[in-house]
Chain A
Amino acid sequence: MSRRWDEGRRRRAARLARAAAVCPDKWVDPGSATALLEALLEPGDRVCLEGDNQKQADFLARSLARVDPARVHDLHLVLSVLALPEHVELFERGVARRVDFSFSGPQAVRLAQLAGSGRIEIGAIHTYLELYARYFVDLTPRVALVAAASADREGNLYTGPNTEETPAIVEATAFRDGVVVAQVNERAERLPRVDIPAGWVDFVVRAPTPSAIEPLFTRDPAQVSEVQVLMAMMVIRGIYAEYGVDRLNHGIGFDTAAIELLLPTYAEGLGLRGKICGHWALNPHPTLIPAIESGFVRSVHAFGSELGMEAYVAARPDVFFTGRDGSLRSNRAFCQTAGHYACDLFIGSSLQVDLEGNSSTATRSRIAGFGGAPNMGADARGRRHASPSWLKAGREARSDPGAVPRGRKLVVQLLETFREHMEPAFVERLDAWDLAGALKMELPPVMVYGDDVSHIVTEEGIANLLLCRTSEERAQAIRGVAGYTPVGRGRSRAAVENLRDRGILRRPEDLGIDKRLATRDLLAARSVRDLVRWSGGLYDPPRRFRNW
C-alpha cells in the first residue's frame, strides 16, 4: 500500500478546475466574484479573509457574504481584525461557523452577542504574531482572500503603503497548496513595485470601489489635554531620560501622542535630542512629524501606513522604509517582531489595571481582542542582545545580586486614574473575569500581564514595579499612583511614603517637574494644521481632521 503524498495539490487542482468553469481567466469579472467563491470553496474550509488593522478586503468580504449557504457553509474564518459588518453577517447567515482572530474593533459588541447566543464558535483570540504564526502551523488557510492596490496583467500585486499582512497570508496559503484571490483597486500596465509575485496569486478581481482604509492612527493635537501633557512630561523625564530609551514602540492614543508632541519642546529643552527616541516600530503617526523634523527620529519601521502621510513619508526615505517607487513599505509581521525583540520600551494605555498590574481593555459586553499590544507589551524572554536601557531595567528587577545578569524590557502602562464619567481605571478585579465567565473562555483576556509591566504612570506619578520585591510592595506601589480611586484611597500612607523614599514611587515634584508648566503651550503642534505646517505641506490630512 503506497500512501499518496499530494492530497493538497489534488484538492487545489479540483478547486481550480471548478473555478475555471466560472472564470476562465486569472482576471475575474467583479460580477462573478461570488460565483467564483462558490466554486472554489467547500463546506468547512478554512478561509483567510484579509482584514488588517487598516486595509480591508471589503469587496471580497461582501462577495463571500452573498454566497449560497446551501453550497458554502460552516467555514472556519481566520483573520486578524474582524471589523466589517460583512464579517459578522457571514456567521449570521451560516456561511461561517468558527473564527480565529485577533482584534474585533467596531464589531466587538455584536461579536459578544453572537458568541453568547452560540451562533459563532471562537477558536481563540490571539495577538497578531501568534495568529500569523499559526497560519504556518495549524491554521493554514485553504483559500485566502486578500487586498492590494493594483495588479498587472499577470497578476503581480502592488500593495502600496499598506502592505500590512498580505505577505504573511499569501506566503502561508500559496506554499501549502491553497488558493489566493486578490481584490485590487486598479489594473495597471506597469506596477510601481511588486510586493507579491504573480506566481503566488490565482485570481485577481478589480473591486468596484477601492478597499476601505481608516485613518486609525491620526490623533488631533487639539484634543490633547493638560493632564496628558503632564503625564508625558513625567514619562520623558522619569523614564525615557532615565533609561536612555532609544528604540521603542508607542501604543495609539492621546496619551502617547502627547509624548510625541513634547519631544521637540520639552525633551529638546532637557538636551535629550540624539539620546532618546531614535528608532521606532510605529505606524507613521502624524503626531510624530514634529519630532522627525526636529531631528529626534532616525528610523521608523511601520506595521501599516496612515492616510494622508503618503507624500510626507515618500519625502523622508532616510527615516522610513520605502520601496524603489518611493512609497512606504509596511509589514505588520516584521514590525511586530521588531517591536517585540528590537525595542527597549513599549508604552500604551489601558482601560483597567488591577493590583497585580494586569491590564485589560475587555468589558462585560464587548469582545475587543488584543491586536498587537501584547507582542510589544511583553518582556522578550528570547532576547540576547544588550542595550543600556535593557541592562538597567534588568539590574533594577534583579533581587539576587548573585543571579545571572539579564536585561528587561520596559513595559509602561500610561493612564489617568479616572476615565470619562468618573470610571476608575484602577480596580480590584478586572471586568475581563466577568467576560471570561459569561462566555466560558479558558482565560480572562488580559492585554498586558502584570509581571511584564515595569512602570505604571498616572497623573499622580510613576510607580516603578521593577524595584518592588514583594507582591505587597507592588500592590502598594500601584495604589500609590491610583489617586482618588477606591484602590488608591485604600493605600497605606506609611507604606507609600516608604516607597517614595526608595524611589519606587515618584511624584512630579520628585522628578523636578513644575506642574504649572504642564499646559498645551508645550505641545510642538496644537492642531492638525500645525502638523501640516511642520511637514512643509506634505502631510495631507483626511477631510474630517481639517478645520480650514
Chain B
Amino acid sequence: MTAAELLAALFPSGHSVREEGGLLFGTGPAAGGEVAVVGTSGGLEVGVESALALSAFVLEVARRHPGRPLLSLLDSRGQRMSRRDEILGLAGYLAHLSRAVEVTRRRGHRVIAVVYGEASSGSALALGFLADEVHAVAGARISVMNLPAMARVTKIPLDRLEEASRGSPVLAPGLESYVRLGGVESIWQPPFSKALAEALARPPGPDRRSERGQERGGRLLALSVRERVREGEP
C-alpha cells in the first residue's frame, strides 16, 4: 500500500498531508478534530536530516496544537546506514525523535502508529514503536533482518533457521509474528477511517505490549520477568 492510498483511506473527505522526499507531514480530519500526521514513505531509511525534520514536526505539534492527536505512518526499511550518519551521531537524532514523541504523548496527545509498508530497526524504534498503540495494515512487513542475512551474521545454517522460525513468532519475519508478540495491537480492516476513530477514542495507558504478547502466546516470559523484577524479587 502506498502512502497516498493509505491517506485516502484514512481521510476519505480529504487531508493536507504532503509527501516530500519520503517524509509525510500534515493534518487530516477525524471525529474529534484535526489529527497531525507524520511519517515516512517509500521505505525511507531515516538518517540524521530526516530524523531532525520528523522531530521538528512533532515538536511543532506539541508547541502549537495542544492535545492534537499524532498519527505516525511508517514505511521505512530502518535507519540510514552510513559512516556520515554515524559520525554525526544518528543515535542522538533518533533518540531526540523518540523523546519528542514521548513528550508529546505526556502533554496529552494521543499517539497512534500505523505500519503500512516496512518497519525495521532504528526508525521503527524511534517513530513507530513509541506510540500508545501500534497497528498495521495487511501486507505490511516488520522485521529485524531477513533470514539469509541472519544466517550469515549468526553463523547458524539457513535451513536450521528456517526450520526454527516455522511456528516461532520470535524468529519469523513478518507482521503476524509481531501481532503474536504483542508489538502490533491489531491489523486494521477497512474502513481505516473507522479503525482510526476507534483507536483515537480509546483512553491512553501504559505500555501493554508484553501483556498482549502473553495473551497471544507469542512471548511467554517477558511479562512475568518484567513484573517479578518490578516487584524487586530477590
A and B touch in the complex (CB under 8 A): no
- Interface, chain A (partner B; CB < 8 A): none
